[in-house]
Amino acid sequence: MKILMVCLGNICRSPLAEGILKHKVEHLNVEIDSAGTASYHVGEAPDVRSIRIGRAKGINISDLRGRQFAVSDFDRFDLIYVMDHSNLQNVLSLARDTRDRSKVKLLLNESSPGKDLPVPDPYQGGEEGFEKVFQMLDEATDALVKKIENGTYR
């Protein structure tokens, strides 16, 4: 299975989601990557606040580099998880057909099914926002890993 995590800048939320999920699925045959809908931070390392919270939890994301989401990602990935409704709109606006659209999901619907909750953009805020983001990503990826392990993914 190939999974893509998507946010706006690909420096705060989605690299952390990528790192956390990679950490949890080392025993499974899953490929994980992340991307941003915007090009502002292409080639850049994750935000130091995301690197720091990851490191505090034993997850090193410092080697990841920002890249922009591309239409070809619909072909490369089975599942495309977005962090918020703006990411959802941006990614869906690039979808070519219903098959593309069916791959795109809000990540927190894994931990809070049907609630359509966002992982809020922590970029303008303080460190506590990154702690909250980590907790949300941790819960959602726990639920996702269970589904993958059980083969109950749909």
Q: Which of 8, 25, 30, 145 binds ligand 4NP (CB under 6 A)?
A: 8
With respect to ligand 4NP, which residue has the nearer C-beta, 102 or 135? 135
Name the token pair of 105.
């999901």
Find tokens 């034993």 and name the residue: 58
Query: Is 7 one of the annotated active-site residues of the chain?
Result: yes
SS (H, E, C) 105-121: EEHHHCCCCCCCCCCCC
Write each residue from 70 to 109 as x if it is in contact with ligand 4NP (CB under 6 A), else as -, in one continuous string.
----------------------------------------
With respect to ligand 4NP, which residue has the nearer C-beta, 68 or 111? 68
Cα distances from 65 to residues 6, 35, 42, 47, 93, in angstroms, run 13, 9, 7, 10, 24
Active site (catalytic) residues: 7, 13, 121
